[in-house]
A and B are shown apart, each in its own frame.
Chain A
Amino acid sequence: MANKQVEDEVPPYYQHNSLFPWQLSLWKQLYSNNIVADHFPHALLLSGVAGIGKKQLAFHLARGLLCQSPQENPQTGQIEPCQQHDSGNACRSCQLFSAATHPDLYHVTTPVDKKIIPVDDIRTLIQWSVLSSQLGGKKVIIIEPAEAMNPNASNSLLKTLEEPVADTIIILLTNKKQALLPTIRSRCRTIDIALPDNQSTLLWLSEKGLSEKKSTDPELMLSLSSGAPLLAFELSQGAQLEVRHLIIKQLLSVMTDSMDPVNVAETLFKQTKIKPAKGSQKKTDNKKLLISAYDIIYWFDSLLSDIVRLTQRCTQDTITNIDYYDSLQQLSNRLYLKKILQLTDSINKAYFEVQGQINVNLLFEKLLIDWKNCQK
Chain B
Amino acid sequence: MKFSIGIDDLLPALQSVIGVVEKRQTLPILSNILVNISDGNFAVTGTDLEVEITTIIPLEDTSINFDFTVPAKKLFDICKNLDAGILLNFELVDNKLILKAKKSRFTLITLSAENFPNLDPMSSSSEFSISQHDLKFVLDATQFSMANQDVRYYLNGLLFEIYNDELRTIATDGHRLAFSYVDSLTNLINIPKDTIQQLIVPRKAITELNRLLSDTDEIINVSISASHLNIIFKHLSFTTKLIDGRFPDYQRVIPATELCTKNIIADRQVLKQSLSRIAVLSTEKYKAARLEFKENHLIAVVHNPEQEEAEEHIVIDYSGEEFTIGFNIGYLVDALNAVKEDQVTLSLTDSNSSCLISGLNNDSVKYVVMPMRI
Instruction: Give me the interface of A with B, judged by CB distance under 8 Å.
Output: 1-6, 92, 95-96, 99-103, 106, 123, 126-128, 130-136, 159, 165-166
A92-B120, A132-B227, A133-B227 in contact; A2/B115 too (CB < 8 A)? yes
Shortest Cβ distance from B203 into A: residue: A127
Given contacts A96-B115, A101-B117, A127-B153, contact A132 B49 (CB under 8 A): no
Q: A3-B112, A5-B109, A100-B27 are in contact. List 14 more A-B contacts (CB 8 A).
A: A2-B112, A3-B110, A95-B114, A128-B26, A128-B50, A130-B154, A130-B244, A130-B245, A131-B50, A131-B202, A131-B241, A132-B227, A134-B117, A159-B151
- Taking a contact as CB atoms under 8 Å apart, the answer to whether B112 and A1 are in contact is yes
Taking CB atoms and an 8 Å cut-off, the chain B residues in 154-189 that contact chain A are: 154, 156
Which single residue of chain A is at the shortest CB-CB distance from B115?
A99
Which residues of B (220-245) have their CB < 8 Å from a CB of A? 226-228, 241-245
- Could you write out 21 A-B pairs with CB less than 8 Å apart? A2-B115, A3-B110, A3-B111, A6-B111, A6-B112, A95-B114, A99-B115, A101-B27, A101-B115, A101-B116, A103-B27, A103-B49, A127-B156, A128-B26, A130-B154, A130-B244, A131-B244, A132-B228, A132-B243, A135-B120, A165-B244
B72 nearest CB across to chain A (Å): 15
Q: Does B29 contact A (CB under 8 A)?
A: yes
Cβ-closest 5 pairs across A and B: A132-B227, A99-B115, A103-B117, A131-B241, A130-B153
Residues of B within 8 A of A6 (CB): 29, 111-112, 115
Chain A residues near B227: list those with CB within 8 A.
132-133, 136
Q: In the complex the two chains form, what is the Cα distance from A53 to B154 in whole Å?
A: 37
**Cα–Cα distance between A108 and B164 once the two chains are bound (Å):** 43
Which residues in window 112-166 of B have CB below 8 A to A?
A: 112, 114-117, 119-120, 149, 151, 153-154, 156
Option from A4, A102, A123, A130 in Cβ contact (under 8 Å) with B117: A102
CA–CA, A99 and B153, complex, Å = 31
- Number of B residues whose C-beta is below 8 Å from A? 30
Question: Which B residues touch A5, using CB under 8 A?
Answer: 95, 109, 111
* Chain B 267-284 residues near chain A, CB threshold 8 A: none
Min CB distance, A123 to chain B, in Å?
A: 7
Q: Contacts of B120 on A, CB cut-off 8 Å?
A: 92, 135
- Given A4-B95, A100-B27, A136-B227: A131 touches B242 (CB 8 Å cut-off): yes
Question: Which among A1, A4, A102, A166 is the interface contact of B244 at CB below 8 angstroms?
Answer: A166
Smallest CB gap from A132: residue in B:
B227
Residues of A within 8 A of B243 (CB): 130-132
Closest to A107 in B: B26
Q: Which of A106, A123, A159 contacts B149 (CB 8 A)?
A: A123
A101–B26 CA distance with the chains assembled, in angstroms:
9
Smallest CB separation, A223 vs chain B (Å): 40
* Residues A128 and B49 in contact in the complex (CB < 8 Å), given A100-B27, A101-B27, A165-B244: yes
Decide: B117 and A96 in contact? CB cutoff 8 A.
yes
Inter-chain contacts of B153 with A (CB < 8 A): 126-127, 130
A3–B243 Cα gap in the complex (Å)?
34
- Measured CA separation A103–B153 after assembly (Å): 20
User: B116 to chain A: which residues have CB within 8 Å?
Assistant: 101
Q: Chain A residues near B115 (CB, 8 Å)?
A: 2-3, 6, 95-96, 99, 101
Chain B contact residues, CB within 8 Å of chain A: 26-27, 29, 49-50, 95, 109-112, 114-117, 119-120, 149, 151, 153-154, 156, 202, 226-228, 241-245
Q: Give complex CA distance A101, B202 in Å.
A: 22
CA distance in complex: A159, B50 (Å): 22
| Chain A residues in 8 Å Cβ range of B202 | 131
Closest chain B residue, CB of each to CB of A5:
B95
Nearest-neighbour CB distance to chain B for A100, whole angstroms, equals: 7
CB-defined contacts of B29 to chain A, threshold 8 Å? 6, 99, 101
Instruction: Give Cα A320 to B110, complex, Å.
Output: 50
Q: Chain A contacts of B156 at CB under 8 A?
A: 127
The distance from the CB of A361 to the nearest CB of chain B, in whole angstroms, is 44
Residues in A with CB closer than 8 Å to B109 are 5
> Which among A92, A100, A136 has the highest number of chain B CB atoms within 10 Å?
A136
Q: Nearest-CB distance from B354 to chain A (Å)?
A: 27
Q: Indicate if the CB atoms of A2 and B27 lie closer than 8 Å.
A: no
In the complex, the chain B residue whose C-beta lies closest to that of A98 is: B115
Residues B95 and A3 in contact, CB atoms below 8 Å apart = yes
The closest CB in chain B to the CB of A4 belongs to B95
State whether A134 and B95 are in contact (beta carbons under 8 Å apart), knowing that A1-B112, A5-B109, A127-B156 are contacts in the complex.
Answer: no
Chain B residue nearest to A130 in the complex (CB): B153
Instruction: Kindly state the separation between the CA atoms of A131 and B26 in the bound complex, as whole angstroms.
Output: 15
Rounded to whole angstroms, the CA-CA distance of A213 and B245 in the bound complex is 62
Chain B residues with CB below 8 A from A95, complex form: 114-115
Contact A132 B241 (CB under 8 A): yes
Chain A contacts for B242, CB-based, 8 A:
131-132
A335 nearest CB across to chain B (Å):
55
Most buried by B among A5, A6, A131: A131
Complex CA distance for A130 and B154, rounded to whole angstroms = 8
A128→B30 CA distance, assembly (Å) = 15
Residues in A with CB closer than 8 Å to B149 are 123, 127
B296 to chain A, nearest CB (A): 49
Query: What is the bound-complex CA distance between A92 and B29, given in angstroms?
Result: 16
- Whose C-beta in chain B lies nearest to the C-beta of A10? B115
For residue A106, which residue of chain B has the nearest CB?
A: B26
- A134 B244 Cβ-Cβ under 8 A: no
Q: Closest residue to B205 on the A side, CB-wise?
A: A131
Q: Which residues of A contact B49 (CB under 8 A)?
A: 103, 128, 134
Shortest CB distance A200–B (Å): 35
Whole-angstrom CA separation of A128 from B227 in the bound complex? 14
Within 8 Å CB of B241, what residues of A?
A: 131-132, 134
CB distance from B23 to the nearest CB of A (A): 14
Bound state CA distance, A115 and B64, in angstroms?
Answer: 50
Query: Contact: B26 with A2, CB < 8 Å?
Result: no
Write out the residue numbers on chain B whose beta carbons fall within 8 Å of the beta carbon of A126: 153
Docked Cα-Cα span, A134 to B244, in Å, equals 12
With the chains together, A128 CA to B245 CA distance in Å? 13
Q: CA separation between A135 and B156, bound complex, in Å?
A: 23
> A residues within 8 A CB of B151?
159
A220 and B109 alpha carbons, distance in the complex (Å)? 46
Give CA–CA (A1, B202) in the complex, Å: 35
Tell me the smallest distance from the CB of B167 to a CB of chain A, in Å. 20
